[in-house]
């Protein structure tokens, strides 16, 4: 399912003294099957953009196309549930939304709201709990006895069990230890590859964005500052550094090497392996001369 | 989703009312709540309405904003109005269709009580809209200070108040966040049959409670870690100062009360 935002503007608390422009003139295309990363500082409007993707927020001006549904300010929307079933959102700190007696019931909550039968929902819960790397025994426990990391995984399983076509992740690894971060990100990446699940990742982490994303959108002050493939984005890191945004370690290292040896590599490397090759070939060239 | 609520919300501006001592504002509200009950005819209610609207004008808070914030209370007011229309059967009969009848006294009482309600809510909103929560509790603590003599825990009460006021916005934000998260999981809070909507409260309330308890515990630890030992010997960074405008405001209110007593029937 394709989603596209067209010249979307959103104001919080419009027509009150607290009115605040959150995003302006934002156009983003999310074709089916893509892995898109949205990067920006805190307050750059990325979370606002994300809430437009399943009609939790309606744009003040402009429109959002979700599949063949159009969401805009004028039209009164009916049956938004259909949209929400197809676009699952994992919010920041999703463990805060757990509430049911057992993990199993909590995971089944989403699917059953969308009219999935109990048997089927339980089946999905068993699949989802394995996908997030937990064992089936945990299903009968209360979500409140689990550790923080486990709660996070259970909450993610609750969204996966809805079997959405598009999954939207708002900093899914915030507050986790490095190993937990890697495991969760790898899980989303493999889901994306196996099921062709469209994935939208909102993150601070340039490393994650460069490693997993097909397309990157950089937000700044509520507007789209730049969009493109990781290679395009990081081939001119100067602009990013000016904004105070990080570039991946590998890119920074390449920059240092290029500066030191007064040379320019043929491409911007996004993985350590690529960069190693480039440096090795540079060294070889040097020996030949 | 919770954007419309204005209770306990501060609107920063530069107005006389904003700059006044919180103690005078608190005293004013207290007095106002008492004298509202003196009014019993259109003249006296008229005076109260004029006074209230003068205060709103002085506070420079946009009128439209205050009104939009009153919407949730409107139902309560309407409800009391309807109750009076139905249940007070005194005075002349104004209107009758079958068993349904409206009497003059019922209409009069209904309107007066609704106006009273309305004014009380407006006045208290002015207090919270123009005074930061911390000012309110400081003022409260200072006003209640004499009670210390009879071993009343004034400081603790003030602390409790400031903590609860401080966490209203946090709780609202969190409610909004959890509502969104559950909406994304297919819960419908604002449409669908009543039974479903009531059921939808559970996935909202449980996480809110759990998080509040966690937060309370963290707060207690943080306070202890910073050496909090209660109010004894504690000095204040913000000093309150009573000025001419505070006295003036109270004098106006006394004049109003005298007028009310004179004009009431």
Question: How many whole angstroms separate alpha carbon A127 and alpha carbon A101?
Answer: 20
pLDDT at A90 over 80: yes
Q: Which residue has the higher pLDDT, A16 or A278?
A: A278
Alpha-carbon distance B3 to nearest alpha carbon in chain A (angstroms)? 6
Contact A97 B188 (CB under 8 A): no
Distance (Å, whole) CA A109 – CA B91? 57
Q: Vertex A255, ends A245 and A234: CA angle to 5°?
A: 45
pLDDT digits (tens, 9 = 90+) for B87-119: 877 777 777 777 777 788 888 888 888 999 889
Its pTM stands at: 0.75
Q: Are A133 and A53 in contact (CB under 8 A)?
A: no
Asked whether residue A78 carries a pLDDT value surpassing 80, the answer given is: no
Give the residue from B135, B109, B102 showing the smallest Cα distance to B17: B135
pLDDT digits (tens, 9 = 90+) for A16-66: 777 888 899 999 999 999 999 999 888 888 889 999 998 888 899 999 999
Which residue among A94, A113, A114 sits closest to B181, beta carbon to beta carbon?
A94
What tokens were used for A261?
A: 């040896």
- Tokens at A207, concatenated: 């490393």
Nearest CA in chain B to A77: B191
Count of positions (residues) in chain B:
265
Distance CA B187, CA A158 (A): 13
Q: Which helix (H) or strand (E) holds B97?
A: strand B93-97
State how far the Cα of A227 lies from the Cα of A231, in Å rounded to an integer. 11
B2 has a pLDDT exceeding 70 = no
**Chain A contact set for B210 (CB, 8 A):** 99, 144
Per-residue pLDDT, A130: 92
Q: Strands, E, within chain A: which ranges?
A: 3-12, 20-30, 35-40, 61-66, 69-72, 87-90, 166-170, 198-203, 215-220, 223-228
Residues 161-190 of B with CB under 8 A from A: 174, 177-178, 180-188
pLDDT over 60 (residue A120): yes
Q: Determine the residue of chain A that is closest to B11 in CA distance.
A: A17
**Quick one: tokens of A147?**
């550790």
Q: B14-25, pLDDT tens digit by residue?
A: 888 888 999 999
pLDDT at B178: 92
| pLDDT, tens digit (0-9, with 9 covering 90-100), for A123-175 | 999 999 999 989 999 999 999 999 988 999 999 999 999 999 999 999 998 88
- Cβ atoms of A234 and A218 closer than 8 Å: no
Nearest-CA residue of chain B relative to A116? B186
Nearby residues of A203 by Cβ (< 8 Å), 6 or more positions away: A37, A38, A39, A169, A171, A173, A209
Taking the CB of residue B167, how many other CB atoms lie within 10 A of it? 16
CA distance B233 to B218: 25
Cross-chain Cβ contact A12/B3 below 8 Å: yes
Residue B3 has pLDDT above 70, yes or no: no
- Give tens-digit pLDDT for A175-200: 888 888 999 999 999 999 988 899 99
Q: Please enumerate in sequence order all residues whose Cβ is within 8 A of that of A160, keeping only pairs 6 or more positions apart, or say none.
A: A88, A128, A131, A132, A167, A191
Taking only the tens place, the pLDDT of each residue in A242-267 is 888 878 888 888 888 888 888 888 78
C-alpha span between B5 and B103 (Å, rounded):
36
Tokens of B136: 């309110």
Residue B217 has pLDDT above 90, yes or no: yes
Q: What is the mean pLDDT of residues B173-177?
A: 90
Tell me the ipTM for this assembly: 0.86
Helix (H, G, I), strand (E, B) or coil at A228: strand
- Average pLDDT of chain A is 89
- Residue B1 pLDDT: 42
């Amino acid at each position: 399912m394709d989603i596209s935002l067209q010249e979307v503007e959103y104001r919080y608390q419009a027509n009150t003294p607290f009115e605040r422009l959150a995003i302006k003139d934002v156009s983003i295309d999310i074709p089916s099957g893509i892995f898109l990363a949205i990067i920006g500082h805190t307050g750059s409007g990325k979370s606002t953009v994300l809430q437009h993707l399943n009609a939790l927020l309606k744009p003040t001006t402009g429109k959002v196309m979700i599949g063949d549904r159009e969401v805009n300010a004028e039209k009164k929307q009916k049956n938004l549930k259909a949209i929400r079933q197809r676009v699952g959102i994992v919010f920041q700190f999703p463990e805060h939304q757990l509430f049911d007696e057992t993990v199993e019931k909590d995971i089944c909550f989403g699917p059953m709201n969308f009219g999935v039968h109990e048997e089927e929902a339980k089946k999905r819960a068993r699949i989802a709990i394995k996908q997030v790397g937990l064992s089936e025994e945990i299903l009968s426990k209360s979500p409140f006895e689990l550790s923080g990391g486990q709660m996070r995984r259970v909450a993610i399983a609750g969204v996966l069990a809805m079997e959405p076509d598009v999954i939207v992740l708002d900093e899914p690894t915030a507050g986790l230890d490095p190993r937990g971060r890697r495991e969760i990100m790898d899980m989303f990446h493999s889901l994306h590859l196996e099921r062709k699940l469209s994935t939208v990742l909102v993150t601070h982490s340039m490393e994650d964005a460069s490693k997993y994303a097909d397309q990157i959108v950089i937000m700044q002050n509520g507007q789209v500052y730049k969009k493109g493939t990781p290679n395009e984005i990081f081939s001119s890191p100067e602009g990013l550094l000016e904004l105070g945004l990080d570039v991946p370690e590998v890119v920074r290292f390449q920059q240092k090497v290029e500066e030191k040896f007064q040379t320019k590599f043929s491409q911007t490397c996004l993985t350590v392996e690529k960069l190693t090759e480039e440096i090795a070939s540079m060294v070889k060239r040097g020996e030949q001369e | 989703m919770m954007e419309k609520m204005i209770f306990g919300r501060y609107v920063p501006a530069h107005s006389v009312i904003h700059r006044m001592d919180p103690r005078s504002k608190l005293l004013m509200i207290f007095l106002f709540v008492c004298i509202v009950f003196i009014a019993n005819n259109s003249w006296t209610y008229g005076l109260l309405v004029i006074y209230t609207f003068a205060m709103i004008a002085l506070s420079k808070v946009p009128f439209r904003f205050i009104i939009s914030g009153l919407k949730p209370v409107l139902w309560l007011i309407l409800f009391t109005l309807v109750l009076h229309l139905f249940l007070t059967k005194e005075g002349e009969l104004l209107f009758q269709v079958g068993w349904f009848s409206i009497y003059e006294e019922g209409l009069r009482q209904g309107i007066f009580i609704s106006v009273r309600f309305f004014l009380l809510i407006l006045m208290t909103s002015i207090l919270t809209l123009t005074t930061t929560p911390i000012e309110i509790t400081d003022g409260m603590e200072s006003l209640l200070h004499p009670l210390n003599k009879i071993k009343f825990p004034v400081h603790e009460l003030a602390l409790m108040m400031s903590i609860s006021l401080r966490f209203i916005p946090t709780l609202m934000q969190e409610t909004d966040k959890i509502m969104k998260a559950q909406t994304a999981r297919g819960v419908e809070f604002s449409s669908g049959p009543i039974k479903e909507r009531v059921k939808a409260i559970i996935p909202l309330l449980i996480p809110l409670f759990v998080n509040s308890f966690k937060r309370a515990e963290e707060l207690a630890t943080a306070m202890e870690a910073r050496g909090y030992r209660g109010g004894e010997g504690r000095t204040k960074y913000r000093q309150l100062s009573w000025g001419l405008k505070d006295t003036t405001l109270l004098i106006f209110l006394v004049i109003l009360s005298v007028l009310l007593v004179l004009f009431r029937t």
